[in-house]
Amino acid sequence: MSETSRDALRERALKLDAADPLAPQRELFALDDGVYLDGNSLGALPLHVPDRVRDVLTRQWGELRIRSWDESGWWTAPERIGDRIAPLVGAAAGQIVVGDSTSVNIFKAVVAGSRLADRPDGGPSVHDGGPSVHDGGPSARDGGRDEILVDATTFPTDGYIAASAARLTGRRIVPVDPAEVRAALGPRTAVVLLNHVDYRSGRLHDLPGLTADVHAAGAIAVWDLCHSAGALPVALDEHQVDLAVGCTYKYLNGGPGSPAYLYVAQRHQAAFDSPLPGWNSHADPFGMTPDYTPADGSVRGRVGTPDIVSMLTLDAALDVWDGVSVAAVRAKSLALTDFFLECVEAYVPPGRVSSVTPAAHAERGSQVALRCADAEPVMRRLIERGVVGDLRRPDVLRFGFTPLYVGFADAERAARVLAEVLADVPGENPAA
């Protein structure tokens, strides 16, 4: 590629950054002079968070101590922070509770979803005024809805948890490629667990269409939002999703191991039967009674004592979303990934990498995955040169584009350094 063409791409990147309405958000994060493209694994630290956490440790815990459960709002933090996440995933208040890990919340959702499908009265309605979840048909106990469909390409933990939930509820797991879900649905389907965005390829699945199909089959739809929340519109309420889970340490920047969240649609809350009925979800948690009576609303998703330090770290991190439109984030995400792919095509010799991320905007999340025969040494050298992505063995380079702090100059530089690294790596087998 000529130097003139390289200069043209660099100049374009600078112009795009200058016109970017989200560019000021970058100043809110702790970043170095490298290019950080791994926010789809761990989001960058918002600069104000350490001071907020210091207050939690020194004043709320150090001075107020036990009083902070009331005076600092610790007790209601899971629902209050859930309400802050709600607009980012298109949910009204009162439907999201924060706490536990993604894996634990998947377990709650899949088992509770199975129990909803088992309800002899058909459970609460999937659509307001429409048919019920189950339409009063047979349950798993009499050979009816005895299947849990799970994304065969899913992050492994989702599959492990779903398999355990199937054993617990007397069902069998049916692994299905997301493209084959519609054909696999039927009268035996109880629950369908799907990823909104594939963690390897960055493929965005059709949440509205697939949710409608699951409902038409009389089943419960459970969505994993780990790679979509904070990167693109989700619209849980609009598309009448039943249950959803997600982590907060990726695009929501909550910090390593920050607590996950569980969404329970309002119409299902009265019947939501958690497989982990801890004291925190009791209607009278301090009554310490031997019998369990579930609380009303999203509180039912709680289990034990909340992890307050991590939870309030997340609460502080969510401040970077104040005044930010998810639609603007999505527009920039698509523009960034388009531009990066254009730069890769311009800079990288033919045959060394190939994109496994869909070109179509309707099918793309906020990452670009490139197949590369020498992925491990290539990513190692990229990181050494300040371009931080990650890889999925054996041959996928992943680059996550977090619109709040990644710019177009970052995208151009990453593609340019990738080409330079590939020139130094022999590459015995070109990408397929």
| CA distances, 111 to each of 96, 202, 366 (Å) | 17, 27, 30
> Residue 295 corresponds to which tokens in the numbers above?
């609380």
Assign a CATH topology to domain 60-321.
Aspartate Aminotransferase; domain 2 (3.40.640)
Note if 398 is an active site residue.
yes
Point out the catalytic residue in the list 151, 224, 307, 374: 224
Torsion of CA 396, 174, 167, 123, to 10 degrees: 110
Architecture category of domain 3-30+324-424 in CATH: Alpha-Beta Complex (3.90)
Structure tokens at 32: 């170095």
Task: Tell me how far apart the alpha carbons of residues 194 and 293 are, in angstroms, rounded to a whole number.
Answer: 31
Rounded to whole angstroms, the Cα distance separating 247 from 102 reads 6
Cα distances (Å, whole numbers) of residue 429 to 238, 374, 376, 424: 46, 8, 14, 14
Q: Is 107 a catalytic residue?
A: no
Query: Three-state SS for 27?
Result: helix
d(CA 182, CA 102): 26
Q: What predicted TM-score, i.e. pTM, was given to this entire model?
A: 0.93
Q: Where are the domains of the chain?
A: 3-30+324-424, 60-321
Nearest residue to 299 (alpha-carbon basis) of 13, 34, 2, 83: 83
What pLDDT, on a 0 to 100 scale, did the predictor assign at position 403? 98
Catalytic residue among 155, 199, 261, 347: 155
Has 249 been annotated as catalytic? Answer: yes
Predicted local distance difference test score (pLDDT) of residue 144: 86
pLDDT at 131: 35
Cα–Cα distance, 395 to 374 (Å, whole number): 7
Please tell me which residue in 26, 188, 250, 332 is annotated as part of the active site. 250
Question: What string of pLDDT tens digits covers the 432 residues of the chain?
Answer: 677 788 999 999 999 999 999 999 999 999 999 999 999 999 999 999 999 999 999 999 999 999 999 999 999 999 999 999 999 999 999 999 999 999 999 999 999 999 999 876 544 433 333 333 333 334 444 558 999 999 999 899 999 999 999 999 999 999 999 999 999 999 999 999 999 999 999 999 999 999 999 999 999 999 999 999 999 999 999 999 999 999 999 999 999 999 999 999 999 999 999 999 999 999 999 999 999 999 999 999 999 999 999 999 999 999 999 999 999 999 999 999 999 999 999 999 999 999 999 999 999 999 999 999 999 999 999 999 999 999 999 999 999 999 999 999 999 999 999 999 999 988 654 444
Give yes or no for a contact between 257 and 314, defined as CB atoms under 8 angstroms apart.
no
Instruction: Map tokens 């208040």 to a residue.
Output: 93
161 phi/psi in degrees, rounded to 5: -65, -45
Closest by CA position to 263, among listed 73, 76, 88: 88
Task: Provide the β-strand partners of residue 96.
Answer: 263
Judge whether 3-30+324-424 and 60-321 match in fold: no
Beta strands in 268-357 (DSSP E): 354-355
Active site annotation includes 100: no
| Two tokens, residue 169 | 């509820």
Tokens 């931080």 — which residue?
A: 388
- Using the structure block, give the residue that is written with the tokens 């709650």: 108
Catalytic residue among 29, 107, 199, 249: 249
Asked whether the beta carbons of 87 and 223 are under 8 A apart, the reply is no
Task: Report the DSSP beta bridge partners of residue 35.
Answer: 387
Q: Which amino acid is at 414?
A: A
Catalytic residue among 188, 364, 398, 416: 398
In the sheet that holds 354-355, the strands lie side by side as 354-355, 367-371, 396-400, 390-392
